[in-house]
Amino acid sequence: MKLLKAGPSPFVRKVLVTLHETDQIGDVDMVDVTASPVAPDPALIAANPVGKIPALVRPDGPALYDSRVICRFLDHRAQSGLYPDSRIWDTLTLEATADGIMDAAVLIIYEERFRPREQVSMDWIEGQWGKVARALDALETRWLSHLAGPLDMGQIAVACALGYLDFRHDARKWRTGRDGLARWHEAFCTRPSMVATDPMA
């Protein structure tokens, strides 16, 4: 299999962490592509018509894309239990919350990087950060008990989302007022899978 990836994408990192946690990292060749929202790599478009990373090219079927699809496939392939039946809806909702943080955080970067400076909308940027802040508050007030439980995909996704905030939006100081979430993230980041995929390493 081949994983099409680019830069420090938190969605790619989520897949990489999953590969490490399920002992499948050696089964996948890494292929770097260009993932610009205005000029995506032809190789990426061939795998994913939407032109987004990551995409997983399989020898025995069509390429898979969207990190949630890829991670669910990898979990099924390894029978690793990262989507446990006993708490599947909580796990999926937590993963979706984390992905929402990633989406908004990446869109802020795109707004600043790909629009002419005079066209950048600070109102739009703050609107995106509002999504991030509300999701972080929800993690702090509603999800700490789940995050403290057995490893699942919700936890992996949240850790990757928070890691991306550290990497791209450190000035926002997401930890302020969220001590429980900050402590959980610090501990989770000691996992070998997180150390191996740290974009700041």
42-79 residue pLDDT tens: 999 999 999 999 999 999 999 999 999 999 999 999 99
Examine the pLDDT at 39 and tell me if it is beyond 90: no
Give start-end residues of each CATH 3.40.30.10 domain in the chain.
2-78
How much is the pLDDT for 38?
85
Query: Three-state SS for 31?
Result: strand
- pLDDT at residue 134 in the model: 98
Q: Is there a contact between 199 and 13 (Cβ–Cβ < 8 Å)?
A: yes
Which pLDDT score, from 0 to 100, does residue 161 have?
98
Q: Is 31 exposed, middle or buried (0-12, 13-18, 19+ CB in 10 A)?
A: middle
- At residue 169, the 3 state secondary structure works out as coil
Instruction: Tell me what the mean pLDDT of segment 137-143 comes to.
Output: 98
Residue type, 47: A
Chain centre distance of CA 145: 21
Kindly give, in sequence order, each residue whose CB lies less than 8 Å from that of residue 168, ignoring residues fewer than 6 positions away.
Answer: 8, 105, 108, 109
For residue 172, the surrounding DSSP H or E stretch is: none
> CA–CA separation, 25 vs 133, rounded Å?
33
Query: Domain 2-78, CATH 3.40.30.10 — does that match?
Result: yes
pLDDT of res. 75: 98
Q: pLDDT tens digits, residue range 19-36? A: 999 999 999 999 999 888
Evaluate whether 104 touches 128 at the Cβ level (below 8 Å).
Answer: yes
The hierarchical CATH code for the domain 85-196 is: 1.20.1050.10
To the nearest whole percent, how much of the chain has pLDDT over 90? 94
pTM confidence score:
0.97
Where does the chain hold its CATH 1.20.1050.10 domain(s)? 85-196
Ranking 11-15, 87-91, 114-118 by mean pLDDT, the lowest is: 114-118
**Local confidence band at 13 (pLDDT 50, 70, 90 cut-offs):** very high
7 CB-contact burial (10 Å; exposed 0-12 / middle 13-18 / buried 19+)? exposed
Torsion, CA 76, CA 78, CA 25, CA 102, rounded to 10: 30
Mean pLDDT, residues 85-91: 97
Residues 6+ apart with CB under 8 A from 128: 104, 105, 107, 108, 111
